[in-house]
Amino acid sequence: MGDHDHHDRRHEHGSELSETQLRVRALETILTEKGYVDPAALDAIIEAYETRIGPHNGAKVVAKAWVDPSFKQALLKDATAAIGTIGFASRVGDHLVAVENTPKQHNMIVCTLCSCYPWEVMGLPPTWYKSAPYRSRTVIDPRGVLADFGVTLPADTEIRVWDSTAETRFMVLPMRPEGTEGWNEDRLATLVSRDSMIGTQLARRPDESAS
């Protein structure tokens, strides 16, 4: 993890990045000296998002829903409560809603006003999720956005876009791929990408690599 933003090339050779870096560093000094911030708490938060809180958590939830019909039912009824029963690193906050993909309906999650995202089950949102192209186009041209991800759905599949305008948080329960009969939860979880829980991808097929 270098200090150069490779996703943000306009900053690569300019002074702007170092200016922000300096400002953020100065803020940490000020907040620490004033006793507002414990630098060890910052370390612990960063460590949590780099290791424990990520899409692997959501993938476990999806895999369990694929093999356990009663869990799936509970998840679709109240995702916060259902996930509370399977022992996460930390409790999942209120107002989490799981929405199920079927051959008839494909769900996509967006936040047109900022970047609301179910952090606790999926980790930090990817840069593209927070970007203007995704936030602007998903509600007006969802099939066009799916095409940017190389996904084409049947013409008769309805696409349902969920704009996260409140504190409700959504995660997509993708369809279980064919050819996975008899797979256990751990193996199934390897097929569940972050993007499949946002709705910009499908779950991987068994013949697709997990890269």
Partner 1 sequence: MNGIHDMGGMEGFGPVQPEPNEPPFHSKWEARCLAMNRVMSYAKVWNIDKSRAAIEQLPPLAYLGMTYYEKWAFRLEKLLLEYRLVDADEIAAGRALRPGKELPRKLPAADVPKALTRGSYSRPAHAPARFKAGDRVRTRNIHPHTHTRLPRYARGRVGVIECVRGHHVFPDSVAIGLGENPQWLYTVLFESRELWGESADPTSKVSIEAWEPYLEAAT
Active site residue 18: no
Per CB under 8 A, the segment of 57-65, 71-79, 89-97, 181-189 that binds partner 1 is 89-97
Rounded Cα distance, 17 and 22, in Å: 8
For the chain, the residue count is 211
Q: Which member of 12, 158, 186, 208 binds partner 1 (CB under 8 A)?
A: 158
Question: Are 203 and 177 in contact, with CB atoms under 8 Å apart?
Answer: yes
How many degrees, rounded to 5, is the angle at CA 139 between CA 196 and CA 57? 25
Shortest distance, CB of residue 38 to partner 1, whole angstroms?
Answer: 6
Considering only CA atoms, which of 103, 122, 105 is closest in space to residue 169?
122
Q: Which residue among 18, 90, 114, 136 is the active-site one? A: 114
Shortest distance (Å) from residue 67 CB to partner 1 = 26
Whether residue 164 lies in the annotated active site: no
The backbone torsions φ and ψ at residue 2, rounded to the nearest 5 degrees and listed phi first, read: -90, 175
Joined together, the tokens standing for residue 125 give 């949102």
Which residues have CB under 8 Å from 65's CB, separation 6+? 71, 72, 75, 98, 173
Give the interface size with partner 1 as a residue count (CB under 8 A).
Answer: 94
Kindly state whether residue 141 participates in binding partner 1, applying the rule CB under 8 A: yes
When asked if residue 113 is in the footprint of partner 1 (CB under 8 A), the reply is yes
Rule CB under 8 A: choose which of 9, 85, 103, 133 binds partner 1: 133
- The residue among 92 and 188 lying less far from partner 1, judged by its C-beta, is 92
Using CA atoms, how far apart are residues 36 and 44, in angstroms rounded to an integer?
Answer: 16
Q: What is the distance between the alpha carbons of residues 144 and 121, in angstroms, rounded to a whole number?
A: 27
Residues 15-54, one symbol each (x = binds partner 1 by CB under 8 A, - = not), give --x--xxxxxxxxxxxx-xxxxxx-xxxxxxx-xxx--xx
Q: Catalytic one among 111, 164, 193, 196?
A: 111
13 binds partner 1 (CB under 8 A): no
Interacting residue with partner 1 among 73, 85, 102, 127 (CB under 8 A): 127
Q: Tokens 């004033």 identify what position?
A: 34
Which position among 18, 70, 90, 116 bears the catalytic label?
Answer: 116
Nearest to 100 by CA among 75, 129, 118, 80: 75
90 counts as catalytic: no
Site membership for partner 1, residue 3 (CB under 8 A): yes
Q: Does 210 bind partner 1 (CB under 8 A)?
A: no
The catalytic residues are 111, 114-116
